[in-house]
């Protein structure tokens, strides 16, 4: 079985040497490291080339002539790998020596899971542990493990690539991968931290779930005062993109998960698009005209999928 690492880089000179050294220190080495550099203006490509000269595995560096952005760069890296199993890799983390061996063993023990996401220890910009993990924060806040979405912790079967690529314009690539694989029952969570996840203020993504002290209060402070409409429109766009991908590549999806799961996923997507669209339409109406509809929906159980009474109250009072 061939193992690839797909790394996307951009102006990562400050941290990338530590990450590369951690890849070389794996107890089970990869068969290749494919790096796509997104037109860095610092010394990132030079560091990678120096590493490639002595690395204990082949290193392929491809430099994008122009900046493709976060999703485009990772998409290109994935399009170039040759391995049966593919690890996604950020430029600023530090992998523990057993990450590859542990993840591969888990994947081999659970062949029905084509995407595996390990836990990660949170660290500051200097790599000092914050004594919290991403998955631990997810559970602390009462969310299901489905909320543990982290591209840098992801191991994929190459058989998924015809389904997940290219990434859509909406959202982040890791959310897209998790969305598709969760809906088909192909994603599993490895409940063990296998890397340091460095939070240094320049990360491409930020989230309360990656904070030292994750709390409901932080979630309220971060999101309660925001107008939710654009977020809901974005959510609908993601769901519609999923529906389109499953429809357009139905044969691929059925080969991976079977027709019953694809049928169920499409039916669930249709229902969810309808529910989000209904809430969006409610908020587009003047507040005095919303109350009867909101109360009827609440009584019918509509809001159970949205957080219950709190969501109904939001729809009543939101300007």
Q: Which one is the CATH code of 3-222: 3.40.50.20, 1.10.1740.10, 3.90.550.10, 3.40.50.300?
A: 3.90.550.10
Q: How confident is the model over 62-87, as pLDDT tens digits?
A: 999 999 999 999 999 999 999 999 99
pLDDT of 27 above 80: yes
CB atoms within 10 A of CB 240: 14
pLDDT for the residue numbered 286: 86
Q: How confident is the model over 221-271, as pLDDT tens digits?
A: 555 567 888 999 999 999 999 999 999 999 999 999 999 999 999 999 999
Cβ 82 vs Cβ 2: under 8 Å: yes
C-alpha to C-alpha distance for 97 and 215, rounded to whole angstroms: 31
pLDDT of 205 above 50: no
Where residue 316 falls among pLDDT bands split at 50, 70, 90? confident
Which of 46-60, 69-83, 96-110, 194-208 is predicted least confidently?
194-208
pLDDT for the residue numbered 217: 55
Q: Is the pTM of this model over 0.75?
A: yes
Bridge partner list, 33: 5, 59
Neighbour-count burial of 140, counting CB atoms closer than 10 A to its CB (0-12 exposed, 13-18 middle, 19+ buried): middle
pLDDT of 161 above 60: yes
C-alpha to C-alpha distance for 39 and 246, rounded to whole angstroms: 33
Q: Which residue has the higher pLDDT, 284 or 39?
A: 39
Q: What mean pLDDT comes out for the span 268-279?
A: 96
pLDDT of 211 above 70: no
Where residue 119 falls among pLDDT bands split at 50, 70, 90? very high
pLDDT of 175 above 70: yes
Q: What mean pLDDT comes out for the span 203-224?
A: 56
Average pLDDT in the chain: 91
- Residues whose CB is less than 8 angstroms from the CB of residue 16 and which lie 6 or more positions away in sequence, other chains included: 9, 44, 47, 48, 91, 92
pLDDT for the residue numbered 312: 86
Which of 17-31, 48-62, 140-154 is predicted least confidently?
140-154
In percent, the amount of the chain with pLDDT more than 90 equals 73
C-alpha to C-alpha distance for 203 and 197, rounded to whole angstroms: 10
pLDDT of 180 above 60: yes
pLDDT of 97 above 50: yes
Residue with tokens 């999806």: 253
pLDDT of 59 above 50: yes
C-alpha to C-alpha distance for 312 and 310, rounded to whole angstroms: 5
Which of 71-75, 115-119, 144-148 is predicted least confidently?
144-148
Q: Which residue has the higher pLDDT, 294 or 263?
A: 263
DSSP 40: -
Q: Residue 88: name the closest of 18, 137, 161, 138 by CA.
A: 161
């Amino acid at each position: 079985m061939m193992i690839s690492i797909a790394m996307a880089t951009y102006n990562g000179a400050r941290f990338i040497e530590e990450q590369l050294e951690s890849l070389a220190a794996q107890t089970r080495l990869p068969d290749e490291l494919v790096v796509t550099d997104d037109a860095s203006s610092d010394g990132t490509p030079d560091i990678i080339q120096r590493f490639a000269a002595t690395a204990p595995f082949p290193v392929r560096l491809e430099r994008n002539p122009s900046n493709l952005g976060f999703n485009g760069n990772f998409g290109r890296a994935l399009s170039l790998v040759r391995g049966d199993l593919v690890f996604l890799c950020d430029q600023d983390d530090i992998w523990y020596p057993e990450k590859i061996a542990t993840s591969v063993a888990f994947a081999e023990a659970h062949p029905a899971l084509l995407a595996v996401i390990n836990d990660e220890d949170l660290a500051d910009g200097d790599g000092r542990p914050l004594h919290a993990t991403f998955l631990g924060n997810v559970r602390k806040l009462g969310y299901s493990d489905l909320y543990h979405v982290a591209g840098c912790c992801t191991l994929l079967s190459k058989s998924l690539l015809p389904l997940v690529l290219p990434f859509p314009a909406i959202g982040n690539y890791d959310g897209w991968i998790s969305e598709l694989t969760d809906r088909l029952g192909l994603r599993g969570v490895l409940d063990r931290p296998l890397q340091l996840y460095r939070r240094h203020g320049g990360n491409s993504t930020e989230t309360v779930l990656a904070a030292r002290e994750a709390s409901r209060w932080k979630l309220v402070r971060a999101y309660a005062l925001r107008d939710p409409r654009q977020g809901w429109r974005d959510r609908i766009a993601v769901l519609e993109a999923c529906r389109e991908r499953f429809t357009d590549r139905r044969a691929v999806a059925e080969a991976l998960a079977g027709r019953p799961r694809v049928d169920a996923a499409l039916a669930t997507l249709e229902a969810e698009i309808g529910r989000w669209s209904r809430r969006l339409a409610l908020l587009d109406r003047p507040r005095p005209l919303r109350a009867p509809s909101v109360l009827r929906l609440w009584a019918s159980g509509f809001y159970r999928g949205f957080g219950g009474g709190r969501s109904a109250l939001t729809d009543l009072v939101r300007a």
